[in-house]
Structure 1
Amino acid sequence: MNKSDKPLSTLWGCELSEANKEKTFSTEESNLQHQLAVRSMCLGHTAKDEFNIIELVTGSGKEATEGIPVATLHAKSMPTVNLTGVELHPPVTFRLKFGSGPVHICAEHVAFEEDLSDEDLEEEEEDEEIEDEEEIEMSPEKPVKKQAAKNGGAAKRKKPEKAMDSTLSDDENNPPKKGKGRGRKPQAQKV
């Protein structure tokens, strides 16, 4: 993985209050894929003894969802909430639906290159296989080693066959094989 392939991660945060009831996270860069991973929401130290309901709106314009409540905070009973695993694609709007706050939202903004389509990945894999085959054909190694390099492991060698002893009878030359009933001769019944 190159350094350019690593995602760029930065902290993102905002404060919702009586004066600022909503905050939108959006990006303009089209060559990168963006994600907002919400980590926590907590009340500020000046919060009143009241419920504060925070809702989330994803998308924009006609594609915007209705506000979805994601947290209800109260200074005495639940001043903070952890939201690990909430990963959103911009634009995302946080809104203080009820209460006067202040509510602090902490998130992680992750930007990374767009994923290649399945067709592009298949083409890259085919190109790599062709390059590997060309390298093997051009090398002056023996054919056994070529096959081993293709398979990614050591070449297997055949075991030398044992010479048959012509002095032994067929039964002695071919001992019975192990397993269920293989190679067994019927025994004479005793009277």
Structure 2
Amino acid sequence: MTSAVKAEEYFYATTLDKEGDESVWTPVQWEPAQRLAIRQLMLGHTAKADEYNVIEVEAPSVNGSVKIPIAVLKIGEQRVVQSNLEFPEGPVTFKLVEGSGPVIITGLQAPPDTSADEAYAMDEMAGEEELVDEEELLDEEDYIEEEQEPENPPKRQKLSNNK
């Protein structure tokens, strides 16, 4: 009799720290199968200022394997990329094709039927709610200012010194 391991969500992170460095994600052989969701790619604090860091991914696709750059990072231009990339199967290879990094890649390893997508959507919605609250607050402040300023200010009376 075999025992089944309960598949759960796990934090995923890897660091690429020199040109040509690569990291391979291979799904754990659990039931259900695992997927990888990449949420952020960022330069580490020791990255060189005048250097582009290009991160490429190689992943399975319908027509075999695909290689494509997923981020170009440079201090002073773009230090972080928020991502919503998902890889339903592996292996997935991340490679620093230009630059010396360090580039930190973070995400989530989870079964396809978990609430990871819902959690990500809820995070986005929370950000939108904060914006709405700020907009409502601005509207209220405008309304208060309008209330304080009379629409028709009283006219000044003419003073005459002529008797």
TM-score (norm 2): 0.58
Q: Supply the distance in 2 between the matched residues of 1:29 and 1:7 (Cα, whole angstroms).
A: 10
3-state SS in 2 of match to 1:75: coil
Structure 2 residues not aligned, in runs of 5+: 114-163
Counterpart residue type for residue 52 of structure 1:
N
Q: How does 1:19-58 map to 2 (within 5 A)?
A: 21-29=21-29, 31-49=31-49, 50-58=51-59
With over 3 angstroms needed to count, the CA separation of the structure-2 counterparts of 1:64 and 1:40, relative to structure 1, is same
Identity %: 32
Q: Work out whether 1:71 is the aligned partner of 2:71.
A: yes
3-state SS in 1 of match to 2:48: coil
Provide Cα deviations, 1:112-137, integer angstroms capped at 9, x if missing partner: 57xxxxxxxxxxxxxxxxxxxxxxxx
Provide Cα deviations, 1:52-92, integer angstroms capped at 9, x if missing partner: 000110039x9332x201100001110101002x1112211
- Matched length: 106
Structure 1 residues not aligned, in runs of 5+: 114-191
Q: How does 1:139-158 map to 2 (within 5 A)?
A: none
3-state SS in 1 of match to 2:9: strand
**1:108 equivalent in structure 2:** 108
Q: Supply the distance in 2 between the matched residues of 1:8 and 1:91 (Cα, whole angstroms).
A: 19
Q: Work out whether 1:16 is the aligned partner of 2:4.
A: no
Provide Cα deviations, 1:3-46, integer angstroms capped at 9, x if missing partner: x9x96111010000117710000025153211101000000000
Native 8 Å contact 2:22 2:95 kept in 1: yes
Counterpart residue type for residue 25 of structure 1:
W
With over 3 angstroms needed to count, the CA separation of the structure-2 counterparts of 1:8 and 1:73, relative to structure 1, is same
Q: How does 1:54-133 map to 2 (within 5 A)?
A: 54-59=55-60, 63-65=64-66, 67-84=67-84, 86-88=85-87, 89-111=89-111
Counterpart residue type for residue 53 of structure 1:
V
Please identify the structure whose Cα radius of gyration is greater: 1
